[in-house]
Amino acid sequence: MRVAIGDVELHVHEKGVGRPLLALHGGPGIDGSVWFPALDALAGDGWRILAPDHRANGRSDAGDPARWTVPQMADDVEELIRRLDLADPVVMGWSFGSFVAQSHLARHGSASAYVLVGTVSGPEALHGVHERLAAFEPEHLRDRVTSSWERESTVQTAEDCKRLMDDQWAFHVADPEGPLVTWLRENDRVVYRPEVLRHFAAGGEYGLVDLRAELSRSTRPVLVISGAHDRTTPAASAQELVDAIPGAEHLVLPGSAHMLPYEEPDAFIAGLQAFLTRI
């Protein structure tokens, strides 16, 4: 489905019928297909999953590069809610998408609840990735994984993006040599957009700003889901965010890193459903 939201049209992946849940993908430079099949169980349980490709990501229009910002993408989510006349929506973001969801909560707060998956409280947590790369095990994969991060700011083609991610998956899972790495490579259906990855990766902060002061005034239910072994968005930083948001809950999956919807799918869906049934 394509939805005009003003200066661009967004491509929206849609599955299920029922109450709307907007699922915002990470990256940037990837697309909403990453949510499936992880959210198939919700789509069959009374939820309408809407996973838009952010502007300049996936199959969505690029628009003006000056508007490739997290706040603009948060405004795009608000416009998408308005254009589709979504009643009582939930906004969920994963990784970079959680930065957009944080911004939407701070700027609009119009969703009935928010879920932040693999998130952090501020950019300093992202800067720490270099130390975590230096300590990454197994050592024989360290140079390959480190190179993949360094290539983000200069990547030129969609094929380069695919190779970069193939090299980086090991860093994003709790077991770097386990079968999930192969599954992620083989089931990658992403339409990569190197230009937007370059745009956000250049500073190392991926558009994230510390919004704890603004979010401390929120009255919306918030669930944060973290992986105990997440090297990209550490659970300790996510807890700092939880501590700042009144009433926020924190679910930490003990066997997961950054790909928690696929590392512990049953626990992820169970925790998500338990929250959603209460809001």
Q: Return the number of other C-beta atoms located less than 10 Å from residue 205's C-beta.
A: 16
Helices and strands (DSSP H and E) totals, the chain: 13, 8
Token pair listed for 247: 């009433």
Q: What is the mean pLDDT of residues 31-37?
A: 98
pLDDT for 204 beyond 90: no
Q: What is the pLDDT of residue 227?
A: 98
Q: Return the number of other C-beta atoms located less than 10 Å from residue 185's C-beta.
A: 13
Structure-token match 């009374």, residue found: 46
Q: How far apart are CA 89 and CA 110, in angstroms?
A: 8
Domains and CATH numbers, the chain: 2-276 (3.40.50.1820)
Q: What is the pLDDT of residue 22?
A: 98
pLDDT for 48 beyond 90: yes
Cβ 112 vs Cβ 89: under 8 Å: yes
Backbone angles phi and psi of 32, in degrees to 5: -70, -10
The verdict on pTM exceeding 0.95 is: yes
pLDDT tens column, 207-223? 999 999 999 999 999 99
Q: How far apart are CA 31 and CA 35, in angstroms?
A: 9
Q: What is the pLDDT of residue 202?
A: 87
At 36, is the secondary structure helix, strand, or coil? Answer: coil
- Helix (H), strand (E) at residue 141: none
Q: What is the pLDDT of residue 18?
A: 97
